[in-house]
Amino acid sequence: MPEIITFGNQKGGVGKTTTVINLSDALGRDGYRVLTIDADPQGNSTSILLKEIGLREEFSLVKALEALPEDANLSSMACATSNDNVDIIPNTIRCMLWERTAANTPDAILGFLRLSRHDAGLAKYDFILIDTPPNIGAMVNNALMLSDYAVVPIPTSDQFALDGLATFLRLLQNIRSQNGKLRLMGVLLTKYDARATVYVKNRERIINFFSGKGIHIFKTTIRYNVDIDRAHMKRKTILEFDPANYSSKDYAALAKEIAQIVEKEKARK
Ligand SMILES: Nc1ncnc2c1ncn2[C@@H]1O[C@H](COP(=O)(O)OP(=O)(O)OP(=O)(O)O)[C@@H](O)[C@H]1O
Ligand SMILES: [Mg+2]
């Protein structure tokens, strides 16, 4: 079965989507088969990765959740991206309505598990990466229930994101009582600028703080780069937009680091 990783943080704009799309591309370039699930009704990963954007009405996560139980699974919603090793399950804003109607049903937390339980089509993937919205609602709960790991992106100088982290860690702990395999893989520092002393100091402060709590901080730090926005405007990952770019190198390094962590954990089991 694939390794399933949720990228979550209820704070908005911390780099969840940017991490998921670029890491998916980087893992794909390393030869891994990747399924990216856009669990955010905003559909930001969808708008970058989905090759034929018109397909999002026909194939989507929300459509799988709404399908009759006998027809429903995840892998039948997978669509192509421009990387042959990467597929995406798109999402649309309609998912917000689903979240409301599902609020008091088992699917509010168990929907993704239900869709994956007898889904033989998932076995061909090495990784499933899930992009989540900036809240702690149904999509995030569902994603964590399905996952082996959670990764929390945090901008290097965003005190508010740090302040909000306790809430996300509490959610992880709650979900872990029902999904025993879920582990916090680590905190990923994003939007780092080594030219600004405040960033350098903050990075050290954050690393010391989390290490003291036994929380892993990824060795790879994602540097600040306006080219990331440029790539998004062209609806491309940074690796597609400019493979030689330093951000492409950051995500390639992160892909290697994550693959290594997963291999180590597999060997330990
Ligand atoms: N390393 C970076 N350098 C510069 N800009 C970045 C970087 N990473 C992300 N951004 C920009 O920051 C903004 C927020 O990033 P992103 O959409 O990935 O965050 P998010 O956590 O997914 O947001 P949301 O919570 O709304 O889903 C985007 O405009 C993105 O282009
Ligand atoms: Mg996002």
pLDDT in tens, 219-241: 999 999 999 999 999 999 999 99
What percent of the residues of the chain are helix, what percent strand, and what percent coil, each to the nearest 5? 50, 15, 35
Q: What is the pLDDT of residue 163?
A: 84
Q: How far is the CA of 19 from the centre of ligand 2 (A)?
A: 9
Probe residue for ligand 1, chosen from 10, 14, 17 as the CB with the greatest number of ligand atoms within 8 Å: 17
Q: What is the pLDDT of residue 136?
A: 94
Alpha carbon separation from 145 to 5, 42, 109 (Å, rounded): 11, 21, 7
Q: Return mean pLDDT, the chain.
A: 95
For residue 144, what are its two tokens?
A: 């964590």
pLDDT per residue over 193-202, tens digit each?
999 999 999 9
Q: How far is the CA of 155 from the centre of ligand 1 (A)?
A: 9
Q: How far is the CA of 153 from the centre of ligand 1 (A)?
A: 10
Q: How far is the CA of 93 from the centre of ligand 2 (A)?
A: 13
User: Does residue 14's CB lie within 6 angstroms of at least one atom of ligand 1?
Assistant: yes
What's the rounded Cα separation, in Å, for the pair 21 and 206?
25
Q: What is the pLDDT of residue 191?
A: 96
User: Does residue 18's CB lie within 6 angstroms of at least one atom of ligand 1?
Assistant: yes
**Atom 23 in ligand 1: which residue has the minimum CA distance?**
13
**Atom 29 in ligand 1: which residue has the minimum CA distance?**
229
| Between residues 191 and 165, the one the model is more confident about | 191
Q: What is the pLDDT of residue 82?
A: 97
For the CA of 153, the nearest atom of ligand 1? 21
Closest ligand to the CA of 11: 1
Q: What is the pLDDT of residue 70?
A: 81
Q: What is the pLDDT of residue 157?
A: 84
Chain centroid to CA 50? 15
Q: What is the pLDDT of residue 57?
A: 86
User: Does residue 64's CB lie within 6 angstroms of at least one atom of ligand 1?
Assistant: no
Mean of the pLDDT values across residues 144-154? Answer: 98
**Confidence bin at 71 (pLDDT 50/70/90):** confident
pLDDT per residue over 154-185, tens digit each?
999 888 888 888 899 999 999 999 999 999 99
Q: What is the pLDDT of residue 78?
A: 98
Level-2 CATH architecture, domain 3-268: 3-Layer(aba) Sandwich (3.40)
Question: Do residues 88 and 126 touch, judged by C-beta distance below 8 A?
Answer: no
Alpha carbon separation from 6 to 19, 39, 57, 63, 227 (Å, rounded): 11, 10, 24, 20, 25
